[in-house]
Structure 1
Amino acid sequence: MTVKKDKVVEMHYTLKNDAGEVIDSTKEQDPMPFFQGHGNIVPGLEKAIEGMKVGESCEVKVEPKEAYGEHHSEGIQEIPMAALQGIDNLTLGMELQSQDEQGNAFIVCVKEINKDTVIVDANHPLAGQILHFNISIESIREASKEELEHGHIHAHGDSCSH
């Protein structure tokens, strides 16, 4: 069996930035399960592992446009401190939920705290970065009809009620 759309794949990975620093890894943990072809992982990685088999491994370099996108300066905004009333212990790096004009929720990260204003960034923390993955395919299986209908993987074949 090979990695292809609608398969449940488990993989181990180590993610590094361009400087070679480890950003994330499944080492010492269970492999990460995901649906192939459903946008559960960044597009560049999804394309790179298509057709791989259990036991295979590879290194993948993913450009920003195929990962978390380019960093957009308009994602950085200065907002008045008064807009954050009710938020206790505001700290650098804190993630806050915001809404766009259409009411869609998105996350911003606090980058700077001033006397009267706060600088927030709506860019993904890895936006604009080249990502380096070292991956190994640990298992591949058919997704159940129920998993495909529900849009998520059931651990060890468990079902859930909706």
Structure 2
Amino acid sequence: MSEQALPVIGPSSQVIMHFDLKLSDGSAADSTRVNKKPAKLVMGDGSLTPNFEACLLGLKAGDKKSFELGPDDAFGQSNPDNIHHMDRSRFSGDMAIEPGTIIAFAQPDGSEVPGIVRSVAGDSVTVDFNHPLAGQTVVFDVEIIDVINA
């Protein structure tokens, strides 16, 4: 009896994996291991950048890999057009507004987008709608749990 080959990650595979995301200085940014719940994703669905997906192609269950992605391949560059100055009156009076606070803002379509308060000066609040890791080089450590090919 020959051992059946494990499926490898291809352009439309469903992948279940654990990942640890670190900044280039080694500090932890995110991990699926914290909640002991692996991530599930579908290759090619647009949730990952093409270069991130390219790093996963060919891996199979049990594989572990570490790779570094620059800002353009990970979360993009910080876009100055995504930084907005807002009047303090747009926030509820009892809301603590201080640098580092993350606030959910309603979009016209009803969805929400997170913004990070960067500074408060008098009645002016500067809010950054860029991804918190925009402009950062990141290191992904992945462990592939399962690969399902349709």
TM-score range, shorter chain: 0.7 to 0.9
1:38-69 deviation line (CA, Å, top 9, x unaligned): 12234332110011111111111111111111
Aligned residues: 141
Residue identity matched to 1:119: T
User: Unpaired segments of 5 or more residues in structure 1?
Assistant: 144-162
| CA-CA distance at 1:18 after TM superposition | 1.0
3-state secondary structure, aligned to 1:45: helix
| CA–CA distance in structure 1, aligned partners of residues 40 and 130 of structure 2 | 26
Residue identity matched to 2:32: T
| CA-CA distance at 1:112 after TM superposition | 1.9
Q: Which residue of 2 aligns with 1:77?
A: 84
Give the alignment of 1:11-160 within 5 angstroms.
11-28=17-34, 29-84=36-91, 86=92, 88-92=94-98, 93-97=101-105, 99=107, 106-142=113-149
User: Unpaired segments of 5 or more residues in structure 2?
Assistant: 1-6
Higher normalized helix content (fraction of residues): 1
| CA-CA distance at 1:115 after TM superposition | 2.5
3-state secondary structure, aligned to 2:48: coil
| CA–CA distance in structure 2, aligned partners of residues 77 and 105 of structure 1 | 16
TM-score normalised over the length of structure 1: 0.75
| CA-CA distance at 1:96 after TM superposition | 3.0
TM-score normalised over the length of structure 2: 0.80
3-state secondary structure, aligned to 2:55: helix
Identity %: 28
Q: Which residue of 1 aligns with 2:8?
A: 2
1:59-100 deviation line (CA, Å, top 9, x unaligned): 11111111111112332222111233x464133312231558
Structure 1 residues 78 and 131 mapped into 2: Cα distance closer, same or farther (>3 Å)? same
* RMSD (CA atoms): 2.4
| CA–CA distance in structure 2, aligned partners of residues 41 and 91 of structure 1 | 32
